[in-house]
Amino acid sequence: MTPQQLCRAIRDDIIRGAYLPGQRLTEDALAESYGVSRVPVREALRTLEAEGFASSRPYAGVFVAALTEEEAADLLEIRARLEPLCASRAAARRTPEQLGRLKELTALGQDAVRAGRLDELARLNSRFHEVLAEASGSTLLSQLIMQLSWKIAWVYSVELPRRAGDSWREHELICAALEAGDPERAAALVSAHIAQAASAYRFRQRAGSDAGQAGSAPRAS
C-alpha cells in the first residue's frame, strides 16, 4: 500500500465514521490496522492534516478533526459558488469521453433509483461530480471540488429518498447543457441542483465525538 493509498483508506474510514471526531490517531495502531509500517502512516497523517481531516496537538498527538455546524455550512456555500464555475467551463472544455461517462453515470443512477438500490447512489453521485470537475479542464478546480465533496460526505448525512429521483433528472439536464455547449445554462442548472440538494443535507450528530481519545477504534469490515 502506497502512502497515497493509505491516506485514501484512512480518509474513507474517517468519512464513514470508523474514526470519530476528537479520536486520537496513533501511528502504531494505524500501522497495525492497515498492515503497513509507521513511515507511510506518518506521511498519510500529514496529508490528512493538510486536508483538514486531522489536527495535531502539541505533546498530545494527532486527532480526527471536528467541524462546527457553522463551518460545515460554509462547505455548502463554497461548493455552491465553485461548482457552477466548474460546469460553465466543462460546457466549453469537456471531451466526448467525459460527456459519455457523465451520461453513463446518470443512466446507472436512474436505474438504481428505479430498482430501489439506494445504497449505490452516494458512490455514483460522487463519481458524477468528480467527472464533471475533471471536465472543467482545470486541475486546481477539480482538486478543490473533490476536497469539498469529501468534507461534505464526512460532515453531512443525506436523506436520499427525498431527493433520489429529482437529483438524477437534474443530472440528465446538466448533461444536456454540456452536450449543447451552453456554459450559462450548465452553470444555472448546477447552481439550482446544489440549492435543491441542500434541503436533503442533515448535519451529522456528533454525540460521543470525544470518546476513544486514548486509542484508535478498530476498522470496520
What pLDDT is recorded for position 175? 98
Query: 54: which DSSP letter?
Result: E
Does the pLDDT at position 221 exceed 80? no
Helix, coil or strand: residue 194: helix
Determine which helix (DSSP H) or strand (DSSP E) holds 24, and give its type and residue range: strand 24-25
Task: Report d(CA 89, CA 84) in Å as an integer.
Answer: 9
Q: Is the pLDDT of residue 166 over 50?
A: yes
- CATH numbers and ranges of domains, the chain: 3-64 (1.10.10.10), 69-209 (1.20.120.530)
| Cα separation of the two ends of the chain | 18
Mean pLDDT (the chain, rounded): 87
* Sequence-ordered alpha helix ranges (H) in 53-182: 69-93, 96-115, 121-134, 139-155, 160-180
Q: What pTM does this model have?
A: 0.76
Angle, in degrees to the nearest 10, between helices 183-198 and 160-180: 170
Question: What is the rounded CA–CA span in Å between residue 70 and residue 129?
Answer: 24
Q: What is the pLDDT of residue 161?
A: 59
Contacting residues for 2 by C-beta, under 8 A, at least 6 apart: 40
pLDDT tens figures, 11-59: 999 988 899 999 999 999 999 999 999 999 999 999 999 999 999 998 8
Distance CA(70)–CA(183), nearest Å, equals 31
Cell representation of residue 191:
447552481
Split at pLDDT 50, 70, 90, the class of 120 is confident
